Structure 1
């Protein structure tokens, strides 16, 4: 393949990967992207929170439903995700430590069901 064509493809793909904002944490958590929405998982005093953003702006959580599953070692826990402020959902009572694996299933993200996964280091 022509080197110029390869360079053009790489340049275009690099631009596309940043077209929906970066996935940098804004609340000290871990960010995953799905359906062009950023999902930042954060340990908080009341439980695990998920902050939703689109191009750096909070995504409305009114009407969203879902659950968060936590696998920590051999222990598995689940909690319902409930709106907890602008652009924020909370799974009350859950805490995650290093090595935990989490899965959120959210209904109503742009009319779809979205699954988001995290593995904490």
Structure 2
């Protein structure tokens, strides 16, 4: 009987692990971009020839872009830096029209919650 209780507890714990792993929501991209987690916030970065778009969510629920200040910092492989403000759009979308980056550039998305002042960062590498 003493050996049965630990075995039962272990099997119950093992079945709960997948549920805990999904507690923060899906880390799959919803808009065809690249995803990074920054604390509880999922940041999806979608570059295009027209500019850069960022989407934010928490536990699969969109966060209002209007509740954040956001900027991009693009560092080229040669070390040149460009900082650009991300403009909040409807829903959970930010845009930086006209901002592009060459292959190998590092792109940092910096977010600041207007209410709490909490800061979040996500880093992406351009392919």
TM-score, normalised on structure 2? Answer: 0.75
Q: Does 1:29 align with 2:49?
A: no
Separation of aligned partners in 2, 1:7 and 1:119 = 40
Give the deviation of 1:29 after TM superposition.
0.3
Q: Which runs of 5+ in 2 are unaligned?
A: 1-5
CA contact (8 A) 2:69 2:114 kept: no
Q: Which residue of 2 aligns with 1:67?
A: 71
Give the deviation of 1:80 after TM superposition.
0.6
Q: What is the alpha-carbon root mean square deviation over aligned residues? A: 2.6
Q: Which runs of 5+ in 1 are unaligned?
A: none
Structure with greater strand share of residues? 1
Segment of structure 1 superposing worse, 107-116 or 56-65: 107-116
Q: Does 1:115 align with 2:121?
A: yes
Segment of structure 1 superposing worse, 18-27 or 111-120: 111-120
Report the 3-state secondary structure (helix = DSSP H, G, I; strand = E; otherwise coil) of the residue aligned with 2:20.
Answer: helix
Larger radius of gyration: 2
